Each structure stands twice: as structure tokens, then as C-alpha cells.
Structure 1
Amino acid sequence: MKAENSLIKINIDASKFSFHMLDSKDLNFSLEYSKDEVIDIYGIAYTIRLFELECEKFFNNKQIRGFCHLVIGQENIYAALKKVMHTDDYSISSYRCHGLAYITGSTISEIVGEMLGKAGGNSKGMGGSMHLYNKNFFGGHGIVGAQIPLGLGLAFSQKYKEIANTSFPSESNEKAAHEHSKSNANQSIYNNFPLKNVTFCFYGDGASNQGQIYESFNMAHLWKLPVVFICENNKYGMWTAVDKASADNNFYKRSNYIPGIRIDHSNTFEIIEVLKFARDYALKSGPIIVEIDCYRLCGHSLRDKNELRNINEVEEGKAKDPLILLRKNIMEFKPEEYILKIEEQLKNIVFNEIKNAENMCKPNPEMLYENILSK
């Protein structure tokens, strides 16, 4: 990466990626990011790191009940997605969801307040760490893999609403009906309908062998739904190493009819460009799988003290921390004093948000009877 005026030139080498049913030539290019963009991307990832570390303190002080699954080591994935998602795109995830909730619009005080069981929390203090939501983020789900068919439903709703809100000439309706009646769903006019938004459906390597994933792949392809399946392969499903649970670790190739890409998470800009490509593909051609090889720098949850992971492996993971590389990117055009100042500003913002969360009220018992039925 070379600094040049106010722009940073970044070369993407697609030969490092693995492809399934795709041509690597689609992703060979040189990009230019503004210096402010590079700083902002680091700021998003660093902010998530800060409040996750604070959540760890709260948990150790027994202020967070239940489970708490941190995203330490994977923050740059969500910073990358923040640069790719459009206003009305959706996302859905497993219980490791704090970063996604943040980049889709939830405030730090709402997220931390929820973990502390406060009424001002993301789910009024009744969901906890695993159940965060906002208008673009549909959870936080405690059942492994359960979010995947739900994500399929979100993508279906996006396509359904686009078609339902479009006025077709009667001739087109007749043609569509005729075409639909004489052929399968893949040949229907509805499968080639121009769409505006997609759903980013996150899951981990631990969920990749769930039967509901294969069912979802089938329906996503059959109906050509605008969904990007993102497998965060952090090498462990809870405490089980991936090669002890999966006969085939090539999760991006898990479907014979859905294309896939596998990338490493160390270079945030590569993630951004791959996700941009995947989003465009999903809008035009239907589902696509993106496997991101990553490494969490924390246990499965804060109840896991990492006894089952090799210490050398963990240290190697820390040395490859994507935040270190992002910081080095900035140091190519700004002195470290500048970065330290930015980090101090972000710390103040995060700590003020956390203070707001701590000062929130506890929910009244009567709130248990609210939001039972839709209005």
C-alpha cells in the first residue's frame, strides 16, 4: 500500500483467494481509498475491540449474566461490512453478534445496556448478549445454525416486496404467468427481476454441518434469492477444532450449485472488495457463499478460559491480529502520535457510552407483558 496525495493505492491479488464456480479474474484490480476512509475503517474495528474488552470486565465482575460471546479478533470483518451494506440491506447472525449490531445502527450504550440487563438496552434488558436487534439486524440467535433459514426468509421478503411493489403491464403479467406455468422456478421472470437489497447471513464453521444449511442453500438457489452466506471460519466450533468436526473444511464449496469464495481476514480491504463483489452478484444472480478464514482471540464464550487451545497457536493468532495491519496502513501516511490521539478520542467516546449504559434503569416487571403481540 502506497500513500499518494490524499488517496491510498491498494492492490488486490485475487490469486490468494480460493474460488468455486467463479473466475478469479473478476477480482484482480487496484483500488484507491481516501486516507480518511482508511482511518475510519480502523476506527470502527478499534471501537468494537474497546467495548468488547469492557464487556469482558463486566462479565468477570458478574455484572453480565448468562453467556457472553465476544468478537475479539474478528472486528475488522464487521468494519468491512459497514463499508459495503446499503441502507435497506439486512443482516442476521449467530449469538456472536455484538459487532454486527454496532455496525448496523445500535449504539454502544444500547448494546452494553442490554448485556447489563437495563431497560434502555437493545432488547429492553430482556435479551442479553445473544439477542440484539435493530431495523437492519435481525439477531443474535442462540440456536446454532437457526439464523440461516431465517436469513433466507429475510432475502425472500426483500425479493417479494420488490416484485409486489412493481406495476407490471398486463402483457408482462400474462407472459410471466405463462412462463411460470410451463417451466421451473429458475426460468421464471421473477428470478430475473432487478433487485436493490440483499441479506448478509452470518454463521460459523461450527454451524456448517447443520442440515438446515443445505435446505436453505437449495431454496436460495431455486428461488434465486439475494442472499450472501458468510461463513466465519474461526477454526473452532465451541471447543472442537474444525478438522475434528468436518470431513470437508472447504465451506465455500459446500454447494454444487452456489458459487463461493474463500479469503483470509487479515487484509480488511480485501474483505471489503470481496463483499462488494458478493453483494452485486447476489442482486443479479442469487446466492453466493463467502468463507472468511479468521481467528478469534478469545474463548468461545467468557466461560471458556481457553484451556483447550495450544498457547503457541493463540500467540500466532495475536501476531496476525488484523487491527495491527490496519494500524500499520495508517502509519504509512500518519505518525503514531496521530493514531494515539485518535485512539484516545475513541476511548473517551466508548467509555462515555458505557457510563450511559451503567446509569440506565432496570426494567419494570410490567414490561414482561409488553411487545407480546404485534401492533
Structure 2
Amino acid sequence: MSINMLSKTSRCVKYFGSNLKASVGLAARNTTGREVSSAGVTRDFSSTVTEATFPTKEYKLHRLDTPPASESTLTRDDALKFYQQMQTIRRMETAAGNLYKEKIIRGFCHLYSGQEACCVGMEAGIRPDDAVITAYRAHGWTYMRGVPVLGVLAELTGRISGCAKGKGGSMHMYTDNFYGGNGIVGAQIPLGAGIAFAQKYQGKDNVTIALYGDGAANQGQLFEAFNMAKLWDVPAIFVCENNGYGMGTSVERASASTDYYTRGDYVPGIYVDAMDVLTVREATKYAADYCRSGKGPILLELATYRYSGHSMSDPGTSYRSRDEVQEVRQKRDPIMLFKEKILTSNLATADEIKAVDKQVRKEVDSAVERSRNDPEIELEALYEHVYVDQAKDFPIRGCQSITSGVAQ
């Protein structure tokens, strides 16, 4: 079922500012007409508006009668915050790629560049106490769940300042209400259903977002998880981040049906243009409300794109052309589109955008420096956290010669 959300004549932006008799109050400001925002940017209110309303992109529905909101109202604070978050993830991933090329990061490394609107938009649509579990392309989500840039980059370089003290690496990052980062294709999906079951069993008013890629969409365990989640009506938001390619295989070559939002059958689904952060936010709000109301699970397909290869070992050019990637960068880049949106609507000024860029660059550069030079974890601590409340000298079979310093 496809619903055209807005007619062409209504695709305009509504502005609310001091020059309009709107019911929207202006943000507090000091006598100089300037204010320091939550993003750390000093703003001049003489040329900006308080908020603006934008049309969302077209949704496609499966087993649903009512779509998410056709419009999304964005405040000035949120505009700068979302821009800062997406830019931070983009620059952080670029830094990670460079550190890998310098052989400072080793092992697996899956970059999130191009998909920033997914995690930023979804995080804006849920609460901090809701749960998230994802696959191995986890850096962006790790940052959005509260881990600072240093915690991500230092984890990649194996330093003690990493969020898992350097022991997890790219695919195994965790923090409160964020369950990873999982290295086995599709394995996080039934775990997500289990977390949602626990929330319902314990009587909590929470939801769980369980993310997977289009490459994992054909896994048998996905359909088992759908069945159990619907059987018990658990508050699970299953999310397929469809970036077009599972490793080096396009979705058209891998799936008989590429309408992933319909794959849940008895689980309702929504197709979302995930290159637009506000469209993602509204779809996530809708899905979270659906789950919290006790209706059971729901499925979102986020149509997005990854600029890098599947991992750092994949140049990403043998199964798609450079022109294809460049066209997306020039016409559909989520950060570029959002930047244009908030500038043309006067939610932010060019100077504010430059200030955010400068702040992000400084934060990432500082994190890179520490990620190069912070110490690695001590050898005797390498096997800590294998068990809960593990005794200091608890023997671990096969590892004791290492932890005790005895040569193999």
C-alpha cells in the first residue's frame, strides 16, 4: 500500500518567527540578542527563526491504515543538534578509515558513512531508556547511544580508553541500553526480540530497536524472531537498514522480493526514505507509539546508502560504479540535504554551520590523537569480564599461561 503524503502544491516549508503572529514562542535570549545553544554555538537571532515545518518523504505501508506524520516540525536547537551529530559520525568514520589505512586499526572495520540519518533520526524518536541492538556496522549507533568519539576510536585502536577497554573492537561496542555491535550476521535479531520480551515481562514502558541489514534479511532466524515477537506481541521495532548491498551482492541479485518492509507478513511494516533525518524521526516516533500501545512488533525498512565498501578490505568498486556512489553523494547525501534545509529555512546561519564544523573537527582530531597514544590494556586484565563478578585469579582454561605470564 503506497500513500502519497502531500500534493505538490503543499510541498512548502512553513516558517514561524518573530515577524509572524504565530503561537510559537521565541527561544530565550539575552539582551545582546545572542545565545549559546546546546550544540555549543553562539547564535545571532536577528536572522533566524524559532522553528520550521517540513513535509516528510513518501511512506509505503504494509498492514497499516494510518501512516506516520506527513509533516515534521523542527526546532532551531534540534536543527543544530542533528547536524552536529551527523557531521560527527561522518568525520569520525573518515578518521577511522584513515587510521585503518595507517595500520593503527587492524581487524574488522565497517564504516557507517552515508547512513547517518538512520541512527540520528531513530535516536530522536525514542527515549534514552529504550534498548537498541544492531549488527557489526555499529560505530554510529555507539556514538548516538552516548559513547563519546574517543570511546569509539580508542576501541578501534585497542586502547584502554575505548568503550570496551579495547577488547571489543569495531563489532563489539556497548553502553547502557545498547547491546552492541554483533559480529554474526543476523544473530542480533532474536536477541532483540528477547530484550523486548523482557521489557514486556517486567512491565516496562519501553521498546527495543533491533537492526539488521538487507544482507541479513534472508536469514531464517529473522523469520523465527518475527513469529515469536508477534505471537507474544512484544514491543520490538525491527529495522532493516537497506543500503543496497549485502557485502558485494546487490539486493536485486539476493532477494526475490526487495520490499523488505513487507517481509514480516503478519508484522506491519513501513518503507522509509532514510536519507531524510526528519522522515526517519517521524517514522520512529510512530513505531515507538505503536509498540508502547501494546499492539506488538512493527517493521521499518530504512532505504539508505553506504559510501564505503562492506568493510575496509572491500574497495566497494567491483560491484558498483564510482559514478553511482558520486551521484548519491551529490544528490542524496543526508547531511548535505539537511544542511540545505536548515539554511534555506533560516533555522541556522552559515556562520553557525561553520562553528559546528569547527567544533566537530576539533573533537574528532583530539580523539584521534589520544586513540594513537593512550595505553593498551594490561595483559593480566585481558581476560577480565568473561564472567560476572569474576574473581581476580579465577582460572580460565586455555588462557592461564597467558594471564600468569608463563610462556606458551
Q: Give the TM-score taking structure 1 as reference length.
A: 0.88
1:230 and 1:291 in contact (8 A); partners too: yes
Choose the corresponding residue for 2:290, options 281, 285, 292: 281
Q: 2:321 matched to which residue of 1?
A: 310
Deviates more, 1:267-276 or 1:32-41: 32-41
- Give the Cα separation in 2 of the matches to 1:341 and 1:361: 32
Aligned residue number for residue 199 of structure 1: 208
Question: Is the 2:72–2:282 Cα contact (8 Å) retained in structure 1?
Answer: no
Give a deviation string over 1:292-327, Cα, whole Å, max 9, x none.
Answer: 111111111111112221222111211210100111
Q: Percent identity?
A: 39
- Within the alignment, does 1:373 sit opposite 2:387 as a pair? yes
RMSD: 1.4
Within 5 A, what are the aligned runs for 1:187-266? 195-266=204-275
What is the rounded CA distance, in whole Å, between the counterparts of 1:257 and 1:72 in structure 2?
A: 33
CA distance in 2, matches of 1:160, 1:302: 41
Counterpart contact for 1:118–1:363, Cα < 8 Å: yes
Residue 29 of structure 1: how far off its partner (Å): 3.9
CA distances 1:107-148 after superposition (whole Å, capped 9, x unpaired): 111111110011221112111111111111111111110000
Q: Does 1:321 align with 2:333?
A: yes
Q: Is the 8 A contact 2:118 2:275 kept in 1?
A: no
Q: Which runs of 5+ in 1 are unaligned?
A: 163-194
CA shift for structure 1 position 13: 4.7
Q: In structure 2, what is the equivalent of residue 295 of structure 1?
A: 305
Pair 88,227 (structure 1): closer, same or farther in 2 beyond 3 Å:
same
Contiguous gaps of at least 5 residues in structure 2: 1-12, 18-48, 390-408
List per-residue Cα deviations over 1:194-232 (Å, max 9, x = no partner).
x51110001000000000000000000001101100100
Work out which of the residue numbers 178, 194, 200 in structure 2 matches 1:137: 178
Counterparts in 2 of 1:71-220, with a 5 A limit?
A: 71-162=112-203, 195-220=204-229
**Residues 67-111 of structure 1 deviation map (CA, whole Å, 9 limit, x = unaligned):** 110000001111112212212111011100001111111111111
Report the 3-state secondary structure (helix = DSSP H, G, I; strand = E; otherwise coil) of the residue aligned with 2:114. Answer: coil
| CA–CA distance in structure 2, aligned partners of residues 111 and 212 of structure 1 | 29
Which digits, 9 at most, give the CA deviation of each residue in 1:302-359, with x for residues without a partner? 1111222122211121121010011112212133233112211121122223323333
Give the structure with the larger helix fraction.
Answer: 1
Q: Please say if residues 12 and 27 of structure 1, whose CA atoms lie closer than 8 Å, have aligned partners that are also in contact.
A: no
Number of the residue aligned with 2:364: 350
Q: 1:132-177: CA deviations, max 9, x gaps? A: 1111111111111000011111111111122xxxxxxxxxxxxxxx
> Which residue type is aligned with residue 64 of structure 2?
L
CA shift at 1:28, angstroms? 4.2
1:38 equivalenced with 2:79 (yes/no): yes
Per-residue deviation, residues 247-300 of structure 1 (Å, max 9, x unmatched): 010110012210000011122111100000001111121100000111111111
CA distance in 2, matches of 1:247, 1:116: 40
Is 1:359 aligned with 2:358? Answer: no
List, as ranges, runs of 4+ consecutive aligned residues in structure 1 with deviation greater than 6 Å: none
1:364 Cα deviation from its structure 2 partner: 1.1
> Do the aligned partners of residues 30 and 293 (structure 1) sit closer, same or farther apart at CA in structure 2, a change above 3 Å counting?
closer
Question: How many residues were matched structurally?
Answer: 341
